[in-house]
Amino acid sequence: MAPAPPSQKEDEEDLAAFELPFFQRLVVQLWAMVLGLITRLTDAVLLVGRPALVRPYVGLWLSERLRSPYRARRSFEVVLALRATGQRMRELIYGETPLMSALWVFRRAGVGPGSRVVDLGAGRGRVLLAARWLGAEARGVELLAEHVTRMAHWLAPAGITLVQGDAAQAELSDATHVFTNWLALTPETKARLVARLRTCAPGTRVLTVLHPIEAEDFVRLSSHRVLFTWGLERVWIHEYRP
């Protein structure tokens, strides 16, 4: 059964929740700029060791700066995508995972040559670049078709696949590792994702940001505090044991 679409009132409430007083907003923006500079510099240092990933990384950054459907929060495509999947506007509002942070948690999750990483909600693709940095196969699923169209051609030369689709319907049977942002998801969306994650092979490692998966068949192996573009946050590593 298809998920119930969110109401316009719910979307408006989600957006209003992110409105801050002027000075508070200014502090947040300055803090975000500092963190963004730090993460870009660390990314640049890491990319020196993988020159084949430099062009895709720069291309993704330029595409995001020039035009991103996520910046036009109320664009027609965003509304259609949310209606189709039953998600709410706040589920599309989150930051980036720096290359350094993705590498840190991937190493602890055992990602390496022979691994197949799937990023559910791939966004700007830095997690996928980290997977390729470690020699793993990388595939991302992203909700907005326009975003995929703009980003996929930059990722393809690095051996990364980015497809448009609902994360709760993604093909996961061949994945060894799945990365997903658990930050702003509603309980309904989490339930749909957990149901989909149960199509993974036993032993698949699942990494979630902020919160762990509350299900007995996803055993928590470890958690790690790493830097994101909004500050330090915890990433949980689980293993699927049906």
Tens of pLDDT, residue by residue over 106-131, are 999 999 999 999 999 898 888 999 99
Cα separation, 50 vs 45, in Å, equals 10
Q: What CA–CA distance (Å, rounded) separates 165 from 127? A: 18
User: Residue 74: which pLDDT band, with cuts at 50, 70 and 90?
Assistant: very low
Query: What value does the mean pLDDT take over residues 64-85?
Result: 50
- Provide the pLDDT for residue 225: 95
Average pLDDT for residues 55-84, to the nearest whole number? 62
C-alpha 153/C-alpha 226 separation (Å) is 29
Structure token pair of residue 5:
């679409």
Task: For residue 8, count CB atoms less than 10 angstroms from its CB and return exposed for 0-12, middle for 13-18, buried for 19 or more.
Answer: exposed
Q: State the chain's mean pLDDT as an integer.
A: 82
Q: Do the beta carbons of residue 220 and residue 212 sit within 8 Å?
A: yes
237 vs 67, more confident: 237
d(CA 170, CA 182): 16
The residue assigned the tokens 């929060």 is 73
Going by C-alpha positions, the residue among 229, 192, 195, 224 that lies closest to residue 208 is: 224
Q: What's residue 13's pLDDT?
A: 52
User: Which is more confidently placed, 95 or 120?
Assistant: 120
Strand 137-142 to strand 116-120: parallel, antiparallel, or no bridges (unpaired)?
A: parallel
pLDDT of residue 53: 96
The answer to whether the predicted template modeling score (pTM) of the entire model surpasses 0.95 is no
Architecture of domain 8-240: 3-Layer(aba) Sandwich (3.40)
Q: Greater confidence, 155 or 87? A: 155
